[in-house]
Amino acid sequence: IDANVSLYPNPAKNIVTINTDKNILSIEIYHINGSLILRKEKINNKQFILNKLNLSSGLYIVDVQLEEGVITRKLIIE
């Protein structure tokens, strides 16, 4: 997939901004053990801000669904 997807800040505490040059359809956040933590659908924007995450410290996987497919990024929560 030819798309730029950035997550910042990374490492993060409570707020993460996701930017892309394509339209975001949905976002899923998984704990590193594979369990689904959060799903946001029907975003239809090139930027999305996740706030008040209240996630425990650790490594998470973020799947960003675009029209062209899914982009996966790692996210570290402090």
Q: Is the pLDDT of residue 29 over 90?
A: yes
The per-residue pLDDT for 52 is: 79
Strand partners, 50: 16
For the chain, the average pLDDT equals 94
Residue 3's pLDDT is what? 83
Supply the pLDDT for residue 5. Answer: 94
β partners of residue 28: 39, 63
Residues 21-47 have a mean pLDDT of 95
Q: Which two tokens stand for residue 64?
A: 């960003």
Say what the pLDDT of residue 63 is: 97
DSSP letter at 11? S
60 forms bridges with which residues in the sheet? 31, 75
